A = this chain, B = another copy of it.
Amino acid sequence: MQSTAEENYIKAIYKLSGGGTNAVSTTGLSETLQTKPASVSDMLRKLSAKDLVHYVKYHGVQLTEEGQRVALKIIRKHRLWEVFLVQKLHFTWDEVHEVAEQMEHVKSELLIQRLDEFLGHPRIDPHGDPIPTEAGELRQEEQRVLASLAVEQKGVVCRVKDSQPAFLQYLNRVGIQIGTQLQVVDKIPYDNSLEISIDKSKSVILSSDVLEKIFVINP
Contact = CB atoms under 8 A, between A and B. Distances in A.
Interface of A: 85, 88-91, 95, 98-99, 102-103, 106-108, 110-111, 114-115, 117-118
A106 B101 CA distance: 10
22 contacts: A85-B111, A88-B118, A89-B111, A89-B114, A89-B115, A89-B117, A89-B118, A90-B114, A91-B110, A91-B114, A95-B110, A98-B108, A99-B106, A99-B108, A99-B110, A99-B111, A102-B106, A102-B107, A102-B108, A103-B103, A103-B106, A106-B106
Given A85-B111, A89-B114, 19 more contacts: A88-B118, A89-B111, A89-B115, A89-B117, A89-B118, A90-B114, A91-B110, A91-B114, A98-B108, A99-B106, A99-B108, A99-B110, A99-B111, A102-B106, A102-B107, A102-B108, A103-B103, A103-B106, A106-B106
A2 to B, nearest CB: 14
Contacts of A106: 99, 102-103, 106
Interface SS majority for chain A: helix
Contacts of A85: 111
A164 to B, nearest CB: 27
A208 B64 CA distance: 64
Nearest to A105: B102
Contacts of A95: 110
Nearest to A107: B102
A110 B118 CA distance: 21
A176 B115 CA distance: 23
Contacts of A117: 89
Nearest to A106: B102
